[in-house]
Amino acid sequence: MEKNNKQTDKTVIRLECITRNFVVGDETVHALRDVSFSIQEGEFVTIMGSSGSGKSTLLNTLGCLDTPTSGEYYLDGVSVRTMGKNSRATLRNRKIGFVFQSYNLLPKTTAIENVELPLMYNPSYSSSARKQKSIDSLVAVGLGDRLNHKSNQMSGGQMQRVAIARALVNDPAVILADEATGNLDTRTSYEILVLFQRLHVEGRTIIFVTHNPEIAHYSSRNIQLKDGRVVDDTRNEHVLSATEALANLPVDED
Applying CB under 6 A, the residues found at the interface with ligand ATP are 22, 24, 29, 31, 49, 51-57
Nearest-CA neighbor of 102 among 162, 54, 186?
A: 162
Q: Give the nearest distance from C-beta 54 to ligand ATP in angstroms.
A: 4
- Does residue 249 sit in helix, strand or coil? coil
100-128 burial code (b ≥16 CB/10 A, e <16): bbebebeeeebbbbbbbebbeeeeeeeee
Helices (H) and strands (E) in the chain, counts: 7, 10
CB nearer to ligand ATP: pick between 57 and 189: 57
CB nearer to Mg ion: pick between 56 and 110: 56
Q: Give the nearest distance from C-beta 197 to ligand ATP in angstroms.
A: 23
DSSP string, 62-112: HTTSS--SEEEEEETTEEGGGS-HHHHHHHHHHHEEEEETT--PPTT-BHH
CA-CA distances (angstroms) from residue 171 to 4, 6, 79, 110, 236?
A: 18, 16, 22, 21, 26
Footprint of Mg ion on this chain (CB under 5 A)?
55-56
Q: Give the nearest distance from C-beta 59 to Mg ion in angstroms.
A: 8
Q: Give the nearest distance from C-beta 210 to Mg ion in angstroms.
A: 10
| Interacting partner of 52 out of Mg ion, ligand ATP, none (Cβ under 5 to 8 A depending on kind) | ligand ATP
CB nearer to Mg ion: pick between 119 and 180: 180
Q: Give the nearest distance from C-beta 109 to Mg ion in angstroms.
A: 25
| Interacting partner of 29 out of ligand ATP, Mg ion, none (Cβ under 5 to 8 A depending on kind) | ligand ATP
DSSP-assigned beta bridge partners for residue 11: 40
CB nearer to ligand ATP: pick between 197 and 210: 210
| Interacting partner of 53 out of Mg ion, ligand ATP, none (Cβ under 5 to 8 A depending on kind) | ligand ATP
| Interacting partner of 49 out of ligand ATP, Mg ion, none (Cβ under 5 to 8 A depending on kind) | ligand ATP
Q: Give the nearest distance from C-beta 103 to Mg ion in angstroms.
A: 15
| Interacting partner of 144 out of ligand ATP, Mg ion, none (Cβ under 5 to 8 A depending on kind) | none
Nearest-CA neighbor of 4 among 45, 38, 42?
A: 42
Largest distance between two CA atoms of the chain:
53
